[in-house]
Amino acid sequence: MLLMIRKDYDAVSKEGARIVAELVRRKPDCVLGFATGNSPLGIYQELIRMHREDGLDFSKVTTFNLDEYVGLPPEHEQSYHYFMWENLFKHINVGQRHVNIPHGMADDIEGHCVWYEEQIEKAGGIDLQILGIGENGHIAFNEPGSSLGSRTRIKTLTEKTRQDNARLFDSMDQVPKYAITMGVGTIMDARKLLMLASGKGKADAIKNTIEGPISAMVPATIVQMHQHATLLIDEAAASSLSGEWEGE
Ligand code: F6R
């Protein structure tokens, strides 16, 4: 694992965007795996800037997102479709037909999950998968206890996740109960992983991920088994590490 410690969220975002942009320039038809949430937002903003100011070209890039809520249509403001279009896709020149996000309104969810895996394979696999990490060590919607070999599938959201999300919906019964998520095994098939973490709230999860034993109870620890995993974190997220890591 390559550990990169940067001063703060902004520095992490700039470095992350540099890594993504370098790949897009070197391999214009690359396959990028995207995440939602706060961690990659700064990278997306920087990629938008690079597209506008430096002409970074996404026209041949294919994208796959990690996850989506079941039951939310793409235009719902809390859907991950909406998040990705608002925060990245509509501001760059990625082709709509090259964007892949699990469909939360699919009639046959199980069939859709199999189809999603097939699309990743057809595209030649994911070159670089961006990941956030939950405070409990989850990656995508693979919560503690998820099989480390799992593939794209439907998962029941934990009560804690539903409660955390409740503020974004009018009432508790509107909060989705299920999500479609790439599995841990699907994520591990990506040729490179870029895991992001910022802030003290992520420090314990990062400590477990880097220094702890590999365990399904902390799904992120599986990145220890990946041949090309980079952890790009800020000093606050690195603050619980016992090793003598140095920031730049
Ligand atoms: C989002 C996702 C989640 C987040 C994680 C961290 O697509 O898969 O696993 O990456 O919950 O979220 P933030 O970045 O908001 O702290």
Is 76 labeled as catalytic in the residue annotation?
no
Q: Of 12, 64, 36, which is closest to residue 168 (Cα–Cα)?
A: 36
Residue 246: its pLDDT value, please?
54
> Backbone phi, then psi, for 14, in 5-degree steps?
-65, -45
CA–centroid distance, residue 37 to ligand 1 (Å): 5
pLDDT surpasses 90 at 68: yes
Active-site hit among 138, 142, 208, 226: 138
What is the arithmetic mean of pLDDT over 2-8?
97
pLDDT surpasses 50 at 159: yes
Active-site hit among 87, 100, 136, 165: 136
Q: How far apart are the first and last CA of the chain?
A: 17
129 close to ligand 1 (CB < 6 Angstrom): no
CA distance 88 to 85: 6
Residue 248: its pLDDT value, please?
45
For the full predicted model, state whether its pTM sits above 0.85.
yes
Yes or no: say if 84 and 198 are a contact pair by the CB < 8 Å rule.
no
Q: How confident is the model at residue 161 (pLDDT cuts 50, 70, 90)?
A: confident
CA–centroid distance, residue 135 to ligand 1 (Å): 9
Q: Of 100, 28, 91, which is closest to residue 63 (Cα–Cα)?
A: 100
Active-site hit among 51, 143, 226, 234: 143
CA distance 120 to 4: 28
CA–centroid distance, residue 66 to ligand 1 (Å): 10
CA distance 185 to 179: 17
Residue 62: its pLDDT value, please?
99
